[in-house]
Amino acid sequence: MSEQNTTATTATRGSRRVLQGTVTSDKMDKTITVEVNRRVKHPLYEKFINRRTRVHAHDENNDAKVGDIVQVTETRPLSKLKRFRLTKVVTRAVTD
């Protein structure tokens, strides 16, 4: 019975945004800063422009390091700035 309730609440909540980006900072405890790049077309000149968004994400085990490509999922507000949580590390950064 509990399985039906969790499935129903997940379906009614709607879809959550899933973003992929690069970790730019891991200096905070259990928090990472992820830079998400996207390309948009200028409305008048029709040239493609690179735009970036920086989000703070919750990293429970401090897994992600600077340079890693990660996937983050939108969640409830965890603090003043954190609205995402780390889903998985897609690619590890090359360390020398």
pLDDT in tens, 42-91: 999 999 999 999 999 999 999 999 999 999 999 999 999 999 999 999 99
In CATH, what number is assigned to the domain containing residue 33? 2.40.50.140
**Could you tell me if residue 43 is inside a domain?**
yes
Token duo for residue 36: 């998400």
Task: Report the domain count for the chain.
Answer: 1
Distance from the first to the final alpha carbon of the chain: 52
Q: Is 1 contained in some domain?
A: no
- Structural domain includes residue 6: no
Those residues whose C-beta lies under 8 Å from the C-beta of residue 52, and which sit 6 or more positions away, are 35, 36, 37, 38
Q: Is residue 3 part of a domain?
A: no
pTM higher than 0.85 for the full model? no
pLDDT at position 85:
96
Task: Give me the domain span that covers residue 25.
Answer: 15-91
